[in-house]
Amino acid sequence: MQPTTKDHPQINGWGIDADPKNDPTYPMRQRTAQDHQGYTWERPAQQPIDIEVLHSNERPNVSAVFGTSSPPSGLSGMIRRFAFKYSENSYLHWLPLLLADRVNVVEGVLDDLAHGHVPNIFAEKGYNAQWKYDKKSLILKLATATTIVAGTVLLLSSGKSGKRLPSRTGRYR
């Protein structure tokens, strides 16, 4: 296969950034020290820390403002504490955080049941709106979930069907 050479000026859009007047970053290149004086600001007052706040190990301190609605607790909190021991560019940071979110959902459902509240998972997952606007997709999603659960149950229960296994001597028990 021979490489093809093209007449570059004939390519649509070729050299569009060659003209500094057409470059959107061009004015930023011409800034002076005096222009940067307007960028100074004072750090806001630190929000009081009265709960456990997890923050990146790449930052020396906690950000000035942070959320306090759900501090880490339970198994999901343990997973989050593990994740924050690692750098943000590591899978050992992000994958445990994803797992902790899923575990927190289960913890929330169990907490609801413990307090006598049966969660309406169908409504909370937005299935009412999906039923109204996209029935075909919802039916496919529910059928897939049902098939996976049924297959898993069948697979796990078929291992205990009373099959006879040979003993160490080669005879059937």
The full set of domain ranges for the chain reads 71-119, 120-155
- Write down the pLDDT at residue 28: 59
| Per-residue pLDDT band at 71 (split at 50, 70, 90) | confident
Strand, helix or coil at 83? helix
Tens digits of residue pLDDT in 77-88: 999 999 999 998
Residue 144 sits at the vertex; the CA angle it makes with 143 and 148, to the nearest 5 degrees, is 115
Whole-number percent of the chain with pLDDT over 90: 40
Predicted confidence (pLDDT) per residue in 98-131, tens digit = 999 999 999 999 999 999 999 888 888 889 999 9
Under the banding of pLDDT at 50, 70 and 90, the label for residue 65 is confident
Element (H, E) at 37: none
Lowest-pLDDT choice from 5-14, 42-51, 121-130: 5-14
Buried b (16+ CB within 10 A) or exposed e, 26-42: eeeeeeeeeeeeeeeee
For residue 83, what pLDDT is reported? Answer: 93
Q: Distance between CA atoms of 73 and 117, rounded to whole angstroms?
A: 20
Judge whether residue 164 has pLDDT over 70.
no
How much is the pTM? Answer: 0.56
Given this model, what pLDDT does residue 69 score? Answer: 79
